[in-house]
Every structure is written in structure tokens, then in C-alpha cells.
A and B are shown apart, each in its own frame.
Chain A
């Protein structure tokens, strides 16, 4: 049978298997290859909180979703064109999201009676044999068996051999999407450089899968997704947390201030600490503290000493850091607090995404405790947002909260990375001894209301800072009632004045005024863009604005919102930005909320918005 190569504009693949099946790696490698092929893409890894949930159970299913195409890709996609199901549980938990007529690639060996029982299928009703797969193109392959056969000569144990089955599946898909094995082979060579036995087994499994796709009669259709029309330039694939790391280091270099990162491991922020600790040759000092409080406190101590103090965490950790963040507000020292949000409250959903902490970031501290809050909207945006957080912290002498979330942190996309020389230098200055003044005034302010960064070791600037209310200018302890009110107002004005040093809010896409504004922040960026595009194509006057600055808001935000009849605020929470917008602007913004630990799907928001514009 001749191989027929069909061109596709976009494809959504979901890799699903047991958490020990290596689906994250398979998905990641396929993504790398896709990125290099020039397609645009978005990913959504989705894994259980347990490192190894009981094998074969529904709770143990780990998934990796990839949406790629020759057109602009905004979201990981709603319904899968292809589902890879490594066992019965993976099939059961994902089949409802496969589009009608979609393809399901099945590891038949993952459907024995034990697998069926654990997946809560009736043991005598194997979904491979009944009508479960009707309406789909089902490609059944005994992956485990074929992988073992392909590497039968290897001296590895059965357990280790079975670990290669993800490479078999990867090989199968690479052929199917008209790719070569080069990128993957390069990766394997590097990873198993010192383990020739494992390297050999993985390569053989990869090859076996590739060859099977070529020869297998049922599925010798081949697909090609061409490169997307992205802006010219050099690209790489980037994940959110990695982009944060690159942004922080770049900021440190551009400011000329050494980077200190104090952190305590927490999902999904830990990989920031992992990555930063590798970049020691950039002068990065990392400190794995004994707890969240020590992490933020050490960062404040480092800032006090003249470093760029940064800490990173997720929701529960942000709660613990609250008191120290308040101290940083009083000390008026630079500090960046990164919160990679996850489902809450309490431990909540550690591995699932949620825009859970906007209100905590804005208000979650004792006293009148204003702090700038900015948010990244997608993986590559983390780079710029990280630099911006550092700039604000240093130039305005204030702690800054940077909000990301699990979806952005672990999601990947192509990134047209900048040249270092194209990134402007950023100014940081330390106070120097003033020969003309008798005594140093630590709380004297500049035109931005920022005080000077006066670091220990500098002669002539001796002073004491602390959490007790400060007398204006001198910084001495003061319990004076009028002074307290003055200082509260000054600290607030200092933060609000940052609005004069940030860009005005732009319409991201769609109309500049009209019937409906989709006002988003954070990881809803993609879905807001996609829905806006869909609706404008249908002739509706819809615009999308996406907030990077959540405190202070851009100066023109109120005016911008008033150009639209309706404002919808989609959020992966129970309605947080919508409260702030209603409070500040007295506008009847309409919330659209999903709180399921997953991104908002295109069709969900589309239907909601369409209904609103249709009603007129």
C-alpha cells in the first residue's frame, strides 16, 4: 500500500499513560521536535501529585497535551485529534475528550484483567472489544510485547526493558508526522552517554516504533504539519519556569546587581530553584532555606546587603511569607516574590493550575501593605515579566509579587529569543556618603517616592531599619498618629505612582471598542486571543485586553474598558480580578469562571461570549 501524506493545519495530541510510563518525556521530546520543525505550538502537561500513584489506577494517569500547527496556536486545544493510551486507565480518563473520528493509539498490553479492574472497567467487558472505540480510528499495538522483542538481545532486566516502551510510541508518532529521529537520537545520546546499554535499548525501541508505523497496514497514512508563519528570527522552545529564570538572570546582569534566590521546594515552583542553581557562572547565589519564611527572609537579608533578593513559591508558601513581605514593605527594599499558583486553598491541587492567589497577592498581609503585582501570560512572557519585576523592585525600592501558574510554568511554546545587546541596560544605584550632610536620612525619597538603597559596608550611611513604624525622612521609630497616617499614604502613593513608569494598556487583538471586551490576566491569554479571533471573524466587535500590571493598573484602563458595552473577565478561579475591577471602577464586569484545575477551553468561553454578544 502506498503511503499517502496528508497536510494538516493543526493537530492536538494527548499522550496518556501511567505516571511511570514516561509520558511527560515522550510529550516533551515530541514537542522539541515539533518546535524545530517550525510549527507553532502550545503544551499542557497534566500529572498527578503523587510521584508514583498506584500503578494502573485512574489516579495514576499522567498526561501531556500538545497542540501544534502551521497557523498561530494560542491554547493546548480542547478536543484531541490523537490520543495515545498506554493503559486502560489512560483510555478511560481521556476518551471523552477525543474528537469524533479522532485517532486512538492503544497499547493493547495495558488492558489485561488487572489493568481493567484498576481502571474500573468491567473485567469481562474489555473496551477494546466492545463498542467503546466506535466512531474512532483505533490503532491497537502490543507496545510492551513489541518493545521487549525489539530489544530481546539486551541484558537489561524486564523492568528496564519495559521503560523503553515510551520510545517505541515516540518512534511511531515521529514517522506518522513525517519527522526524522534525529532530534530524539541526539537527546538520547546526550542523556545516556555513560549508560551504553540503556542508550542502545532506547534507540532500538525508537527505531522499532518508527519502522512499525512505516510498515503497519492499518495506519500507513502520514501527516505533515508545515511550519507556521512566525515572525522571522531565531527561535527556541521555552517553558514558563525556565523563562522566569532567564529573565531573572538577565535582569541581574543588566542591573549589575548579583542575584540571590532563597527558596523552599514547592510544586510547581521548584524547577526555578533547580534551574537557577545551574547558572552559578552568572554569579547566581541560590539558597535552599529551611522553610518558606526563611526563604523570603534570607532574600530580604540579601537585598539589604546589596543583592537582588528573590524568592519563589506557590500559594501555601505565599501565605507563610506574608509577614516578611510586610517587613519588606516597611524596609522599602527591593524584593521579588514569585508565586507559581496552583489549586487551593490549603494543599489544594498541587499539580493543577489555578489563578488562585490574585487576592492574596494584593491583600493577603496584615496592615495597609501595598505591593506591586504583575503577572505573566504565557511561557515566553515570563522572561519579560521577570525582568520587569526586578526593574520595578530595584528602581522603586519595593517588594514586587510576580504571579505565574502551573499551566504557564510547565507549558512550552516557541520563543523568538532576544539578543542580549538588544535588551536595554537597567539602572540600579546604591547610596553614597554625602560629605555635605551631617547625618544620613534613610527615608528621604526621590521623585518616584523611592528611598535610597543604602547597604551595610558603606561609610557614612549608618542607620537602622525595622518593622516598627518609621518617622518620615529620619526612619527613627515613631508612634506618632499623624506620622503613621502619612507613612501609610506615602507607601501607597509610591506603589500607585509606578503607573507613571509602565506602558498604557493596549488592546491585544480584535476591536478597539465595541460590544464586548475580554479582559484577562495570566494564563487565560491564549484562550482569550483565540476566542476574540473566532468572534471577530464572525463579525462581532470584540476586543481582548490582557493585564500584565495588576497593581497598579495601567493609567488608561478605566477609559479603555468604557469603550465597550460589556466586559467579561475569564478566570481560572471563583472570580478575583472581577472583584477588584468592580471595586475600583464601579463597572458591571461579568465573571466567567472555571475552577477545575485545567485551563479554560476555547468552546467554553466562546459559547459564553457568543451568547452575550448575541443578546446584544
Chain B
């Protein structure tokens, strides 16, 4: 139960709207960010988070306006650097629930360096990357996750950049929690947010988010009812990898090669399928490579959603404070006079 004292000291239960500020939300009408904002506010209420112990830290871009709409503490920092601000904040106060909000440009282009280092250090915080495969705030240039040959104002003849694979990059950075969700599936998104929060360590959640102005329908094939069953693969640990309208398709591992099989035709049963194990890093890396663009390759493997991988590793801030305490225990509380005198001194009378 979410308990927060009102000014008269009477506890009450928080609702999603209690996490909303009085500021007008200024995203374009129809933007996927609205759904994400709603699910985050709902999840925080459901989880019983205390607003004053929660901090949203963002960089620059459409997604990074997020903190202004959250009735918590918040910092709208500079482009790409939110992970670094959040790192310092977590060291200063490890008890805070910190949520870093970033986008594909902010987190993977200008802030790519910090992304890697945040994940490997494993601060106990949540990193939500709103991926819309486009630069929105600067009016429509291609982003590091845009598909190849994309025509945008800065690439009138088509982009020649090879896109980054955020899940593979996170796994390559030794992230301890790697997941993907989408703005159009509130239930799944809430579930992923709750699991990200429950994980101790840096939880990386990539959220496919539609930019209806500059890149409308970028993920339609994965999110719309008509195509979703064939293109989206919902991961659940302990369950076989199945998809299709009737769950009639599955993924089999042939050595290390994933193969799509039709359970009705190919003579395989569910027992023959790859059973997802979110503690298996090696297989998570294979899943991360289910990344072909179905628009270019019709036989592309379905795109996975859910928790790819999670593991436990000590958090940076935890170890930092442990080390600090151990030194204090060893040497005793620092004595200013001893410190000022240093090694050798002499006296002039």
C-alpha cells in the first residue's frame, strides 16, 4: 500500500494522478510518451513509491521533458549526460529510487559513452530508453536507431548509417537487467516497469515509442493487432518461445542457430522449443540478434519483448559505501589535526 502523510499527518493511498504535476504536458497530441507517462505514474502508485524519495533524471530531447510531469523530485539535465548526474546522486543518497529517462539520440548518440559506463557500474537505478528511431525535438533527423536508407531532412538521399542495437549494446556492457517493451501495450509496459524497479542494479528498459509526427508507425508492425502476433515474440522465463495468432509457431535452437518451426506442420511439439531462461546470458545474446527489419526481410525472426536477461551483481554505490565504512573501521574516523600535520613536522619557537 502506498502510504504518504498529508500535511495533517493523515496517511492516504496514492493514486497515479498524485504523481502528476500541475504543469501542462507539452508533447504532441498522439505521442507515445503520453502512454509511457501514464504507465509510469500508475506503476509508481501501485508499487507504493514515496514521491519525495523518487527522482527522475533526464537528458535532452522529447522524452527528457518527462521529469517536469512527475510529482517527485526531478532534474532535466544536459544532453546525453543524465546517467552521470544520476550516478553522483546515487552515491550521495543510495536510498533514493532513481529513474533515468532518455531517448535513442540522448542515450545512444551523444550519451552513448555514459550509457555503457552506467550499465557496467551497475548503479541501483532504472534506465528507461524511449526509442522512436528519430530526432523529434530537432524536427525529424534520423537517429542512431533509425533503419538504413531512411530519408530525413539531414539525409534526403537516404541514410547510410547502420543502426545500433540497444539490447545488444546493453548486454555487451554487462547490464544486469535488460528488457524491451512498447508504448502500445500498457499491461506489458507496467509489468516491465515493475520488474525493472524490483531488480537491484541498473535496469535497462527499452520502450518502443511512436513519434506520430516525424516517424509515425515505425513500430506498427510489432504493435498493431493485425501483425503483432506474427512479428512480436513475448518472452517469459520458463516458457517456450512461441508466437503466431494461435501460438502455433515456435523457435527451436539448432545448435546456436534459431529456427522458426510450425508446430502444426513441422512435426515438433512445444517440448522441442527453446525455453526462455532470463538468467542465460549466452542465449540472451542470441535473442538480442532477433533484430532484422521485417520490412526489409520478410522472413525476419520475430522481435522479442520482455526480459532478455537479468542477474545479480553488487551495485556500485553499495560497494563504494562498503569500502568507505571498511576504511573507517580500519583507520578510525579521520582526525583533522593528524591530517593537517601529515608525515613529518618541525617547530619554530
Most chain A Cβ neighbours within 10 Å, of B73, B76, B117, B333: B73
Contacting A at CB under 8 A, from B74-102, are 74-79, 81, 83-93, 95-96
- Per-residue contact bits, chain B 330-349, to A (CB 8 Å; 1 contact, 0 not): 11111011011111111111
What residues on B are CB-neighbors of A465 within 8 Å?
74-76
Provide the residues of chain B in CB contact with A283, threshold 8 Å: 324, 328, 334
Shortest C-beta distance, B325 to chain A (Å), equals 9
Residues of A within 8 A of B87 (CB): 287, 289, 294, 298, 301
- A459 CB, nearest partner CB in chain B, Å: 5
**CA–CA, A279 and B334, complex, Å:** 8
Q: A38-B348, A232-B349, A236-B341 are in contact. Are A462 and B88 (CB under 8 A)?
A: no
Residue of A nearest to B77 (CB): A327
CB atoms of B348 and A327 under 8 A apart: no
Chain B contacts for A289, CB-based, 8 A: 84, 87, 117
Q: Does B320 contact A (CB under 8 A)?
A: yes
**Residue among B76, B337, B340, B347 with most chain A CB within 10 A:** B340
Determine if B71 is an interface residue (Cβ-Cβ < 8 Å).
yes
Q: Which of chain A's residues 282-333 have a Cβ closer than 8 Å to chain B?
A: 282-283, 285, 287, 289-291, 293-295, 297-307, 309, 323-324, 327, 331
**CA of A183 to CA of B343, assembled, Å:** 11
Q: Do B344 and A183 have beta carbons less than 8 Å apart?
A: yes
Question: Is B21 interfacial (CB 8 A cutoff)?
Answer: yes
**B199 → chain A, closest Cβ, in Å?**
21
B84 neighbours in A (Cβ, 8 Å)? 289-290, 293-295, 297-298, 301
* Contact status A281-B331, CB under 8 Å: yes
Per-position contact with B for A353-365: 1 when CB-CB < 8 Å, else 0?
Answer: 0000000000000
A250 within 8 A of B: yes
Q: Is A473 at the interface (CB under 8 A from chain B)? A: no
User: B23 within 8 Å of A by Cβ?
Assistant: yes
A306: nearest residue on chain B (CB-CB)? B92
Q: Which residues of B contact A468 (CB under 8 A)?
A: 76
A250-B336 in contact given A230-B348, A234-B347 (Cβ < 8 Å): yes
B85 contacts A301, C-beta separation under 8 Å: yes
At the interface, yes or no: A615 with Cβ under 8 Å from chain B? Answer: no
Which residues of chain A are near B67, meaning CB under 8 Å?
464, 466
Measured CA separation A262–B85 after assembly (Å): 11
**Binary CB contact string for chain B from 231 to 243 against chain A (1 if under 8 A, 0 otherwise):** 0000000000000
- Does A287 lie within 8 Å of B88, measured CB to CB? yes
Q: How far is the CB of B65 from chain A (nearest CB, A)?
A: 9
Instruction: Look across to chain B and name the residue whose beta carbon is closest to the beta carbon of A229.
Output: B348
Question: Are A246 and B339 closer than 8 Å at their CB atoms?
Answer: yes
B-contacting 9-mer, from A106-114, A125-133, A415-423: A415-423
Could you tell me if B348 and A300 are in contact, using CB atoms closer than 8 angstroms?
no
Query: Which A residues are CB-close (under 8 A) to B71?
Result: 462
List residues of chain A with CB within 8 A of the CB of B91: 260, 285, 287, 298, 302, 305, 307
Are A456 and B55 touching (Cβ within 8 A)? Answer: yes
Name the contact of A36 in the complex, choosing from B53, B336, B344 (C-beta under 8 A).
B344
CA distance A36 to B343 in the complex (A): 11
What does the 1/0 interface line of A22-51 toward B look like (CB < 8 Å)?
A: 000000000010011010000000000000
A380 to B157, CA, bound (A): 62
Which among A303, A456, A458, A465 has the highest number of chain B CB atoms within 10 Å? A456
Q: Taking A285-B320, A459-B52 as contacts, is the C-beta distance between A234 and B341 under 8 angstroms?
A: yes
> Which chain B positions have C-beta within 8 A of A295?
84
A238 to B349, CA, bound (A): 20
A-side contacts of B21, CB under 8 Å: 464
* A457 and B340 contact, CB distance less than 8 A: no
| B331 engages A301 (CB within 8 Å) | no
Q: A38-B346, A282-B334, A477-B23 are in contact. Are A456 and B53 (CB under 8 A)?
A: yes
Contacts of A293 in B (CB 8 A): 81, 84
Closest A residue, CB atoms, query B325: A280
Q: Give the complex CA separation of A418 and B337 in angstroms.
A: 8
Q: Which of B52, B84, B323, B346 has the most CB of A within 10 A?
A: B84
Known A236-B341, A281-B328, A457-B52; judge A298-B85 contact (CB<8 A).
yes
CB distance from B235 to the nearest CB of A (A): 31
At the interface, yes or no: A52 with Cβ under 8 Å from chain B? no
A280 touches B327 (CB 8 A): yes
| Interface check A460, CB cutoff 8 A | yes
Interface string of B1-37 (1 = CB under 8 A from A): 0000101000000000000010100000000000000
In the complex the two chains form, is B78's CB within 8 Å of A290's CB? no
Q: Is A1 an interface residue (CB 8 A)?
A: no
- In residues 224-258 of chain A, which contact B (Cβ within 8 Å)? 227, 230-238, 242, 246, 249-250, 253, 258
Closest to A454 in B: B73
| Complex CA–CA separation, A485 to B117 (angstroms) | 39
**Contact status A304-B342, CB under 8 Å:** no
Contact bitstring A165-209, B, C-beta under 8 A = 1, else 0: 000000000000000000100000000000000000000000000
Contact residues of A: prevailing secondary structure: mixed
B23's partner among A420, A456, A476 (CB-CB below 8 A) is A476
Interface code A211-235, partner B: CB below 8 Å = 1, 0 otherwise?
0000000000000000100111111
CB distance from B236 to the nearest CB of A (A): 35
Query: Does B48 have its Cβ within 8 Å of any Cβ on chain A?
Result: no
Chain A 405-425 interface residues, beta-carbon cutoff 8 Å to B: 416-420
Q: Which residues of A contact B23 (CB under 8 A)?
A: 476-477
Q: Is the CB of A249 within 8 A of B96?
A: no
A563 at interface by CB-CB < 8 Å: no
A247 closest partner in B (C-beta): B340
Checking A36, A456, A463 against B93 with a beta-carbon cut-off of 8 angstroms, the contacting residue is A456
**Cβ proximity bits A451-486 to B, threshold 8 Å, 1 near / 0 not:** 000011111111111111000000011000000000
Contact B68 A466 (CB under 8 A): yes
When distances are taken between beta carbons in the complex, the residues of chain A under 8 Å from B117 are 289-290, 294
Write the chain A residue with the least CB distance to B56.
Answer: A464
* 98-142 of chain B: CB within 8 A of chain A: 113-114, 116-117
* Chain A CB within 10 Å, residue with most, of B57, B72, B75: B75
A305 to B52, CA, bound (A): 12
A309–B84 Cα distance when bound, in Å, is 13
In the complex, whether B217 has a CB less than 8 A from a CB of chain A is no
Cβ-based interface call for A435 (8 A):
yes
Nearest chain A CB to B67's CB is how many angstroms away? Answer: 5
Cα(A323)–Cα(B342), bound, Å: 37
Q: Which of A227, A280, A298 contacts B88 (CB 8 A)?
A: A298
Give Cα A35 to B328, complex, Å. Answer: 31
Contacts of A260 in B (CB 8 A): 88, 91-92
Q: How far is the CA of A455 from the CA of B342 in the complex (A)?
A: 35
Q: Which A residues lie within 8 Å of B258 (CB)? A: none
Please report the C-alpha to C-alpha distance between residue A35 and residue B346 in the assembled complex, in whole angstroms. 8
Residue B85 contacts which of A183, A232, A249, A304 (CB distance < 8 angstroms)? Answer: A304
* CB closest chain-B residue, reference A231: B348
Which residues on the A side are within 8 Å of B330 (C-beta)? 281
CB atoms of A236 and B334 under 8 A apart? no
Q: How far is the CA of A237 from the CA of B344 in the complex (A)?
A: 8
In this assembly, does B186 line the interface, its C-beta being within 8 Å of a C-beta of chain A?
no
Give chain B nearest CB distance to A265 CB in angstroms.
15
Given the known interface contacts A281-B334, A301-B57, A306-B93, the answer about A456 and B346 at a Cβ–Cβ threshold of 8 Å is: no
Binding site for B on A (CB under 8 A): 32, 35-36, 38, 183, 227, 230-238, 242, 246, 249-250, 253, 258, 260, 262, 279-283, 285, 287, 289-291, 293-295, 297-307, 309, 323-324, 327, 331, 416-420, 435, 455-468, 476-477
A–B complex contacts, Cβ < 8 Å, 21 sampled: A232-B347, A232-B348, A246-B340, A253-B334, A280-B327, A294-B81, A297-B77, A301-B88, A303-B92, A304-B75, A306-B93, A420-B336, A456-B89, A462-B71, A462-B73, A466-B67, A466-B68, A466-B75, A467-B77, A468-B76, A477-B68
Besides A465-B76, A466-B67, 14 more A-B contacts (Cβ < 8 Å) are: A238-B342, A249-B336, A260-B92, A280-B323, A281-B327, A281-B328, A281-B333, A301-B85, A301-B89, A303-B88, A303-B92, A324-B81, A455-B93, A467-B78
Report, nearest first, the 5 A-B pairs whose CB atoms are least far apart: A466-B76, A305-B92, A301-B88, A298-B88, A282-B334
